[in-house]
Amino acid sequence: MLATSFKSGNQLSASSIRAWRIAQALVWLVGATIFGCLLFFPALGLLLFWNVLIPVAPALMVISVGLWRNVCPLATTNLLPRHFNLSRKKKMPVRLQSKLGLVAVIALYLIVPLRHAVLNNSGIATATLLLVAVTIGMSMGFVYDWKSAWCSTLCPVHPVERMYGANTLMALPNAHCDSCVNCSIPCPDSTPNFNPAVPQKNNYQKLSGFLIVGGLPGFIWGWFHVPDTLEINSVREIISAYTMPFAGCILSLTLYWMLLNWENKRAGNRVVKIFAASAVSMYYWYRIPALLGFGLFAKDGQVVDLSSVLPQWSTTLMTIAAVLFFFYWVVIRKSNHQSWVVRPAYATRQSSLSRQKVDR
Ligand code: SF4
């Protein structure tokens, strides 16, 4: 029922809407519970957020980013003003969308190293980060229409969705937008095989695409070579959390730039896929062993310590299987021309015409 029940013109049936609302409410409750744990039971909250929820997210984005977009608790919260008709529903200019998209990429690269410096060990800091995201996202939601307010522009997770979601399993119904008003151009949710290199209308879009595709694999590699710091006593310690991720990022950006200049456009798409598969593979290459107690740094990122039960080679096998899967799914598997979710019917004939004008 969640996947298929449409009335006509891509409008969801009442029973499908109800099913999606229940799914959103349940996932929202899980998110709210984790948020409460971060404040009142920080050890449990940190474990659930950073070592259970976040490690699942990249794989889910690869397989079905539309499912993630439909039920993400932050999206559900930040879209409340629009769902309850409290938004001014302003149309955000494409140039501003592009600038905010670049801000999201920069925010991602600035926030993630802070996990080692403070977030991984502080429930209050992680809860504050989430609260800031909700405050900004909801404030934007009171002004701008649908996902242009947060989900498709400022959300720092969105560049990763773009990176990993280029060949999703299937297009799910859009469980947020009741009709399409062209809030996002191009709409990442509704464009088949969307990836960060697709938007090329201005330099902000080009730069965002370049930074996330080229930089992410090296950034992830560098990030996993930094231990969590229990106490920050100087600015130098904060800077050291950035050194390896930024060094890795610059290295892979350089490689990406060289490949782009060397390859033709058709091969360029393959390079984007290879970098996406490399980034998600790099993540699980280090993440799976760390979750099971075989990480590079003692208990960093550990859910359960199986190091005395499992042989080391078993985690090697798991990581190799993960890498093979992601390269098959992202690079080898044929592009299926599916979008993340099905675009709902356009709100009015006028907005449909204006979209055609913009797309031309
Ligand atoms: S489907 Fe339409 S209204 Fe919804 S996010 Fe995409 S462009 Fe905006």
Q: What is the pLDDT of residues 9-43, one digit of tens each?
A: 567 788 899 999 999 999 999 999 999 999 999 99
Beta pairing, strands 172-173 & 341-342: parallel
State whether the beta carbon of 147 lies less than 6 angstroms from ligand 1: yes
State whether the beta carbon of 282 lies less than 6 angstroms from ligand 1: no
**Cα of 330 from ligand 1 centre, angstroms:** 25
pTM: 0.92
Domain boundaries, the chain: 14-359
State whether the beta carbon of 187 lies less than 6 angstroms from ligand 1: yes
Question: Residue 128 corresponds to which tokens in the numbers above?
Answer: 């504050």
Label residue 356 by pLDDT band (50, 70, 90).
very low
Atom of ligand 1 nearest to the CA of 174: 1
pLDDT of 164 > 90? The answer is yes
Phi, psi of 180 (to 5 degrees): -90, 125
Report the b/e string of 299-329 with b at 16+ CB within 10 A: ebbbeeeeeeeeeeeebeebbeebbebbbeb
Q: What is the pLDDT of residues 166-178, one digit of tens each?
A: 999 999 999 999 9
Asked whether the beta carbons of 27 and 73 are under 8 A apart, the reply is yes
Contacts with 60 (C-beta within 8 Å, 6 or more apart), sequence order? 67, 68
State whether the beta carbon of 343 lies less than 6 angstroms from ligand 1: yes
Q: What is the pLDDT of residues 255-273, one digit of tens each?
A: 999 998 886 666 678 999 9
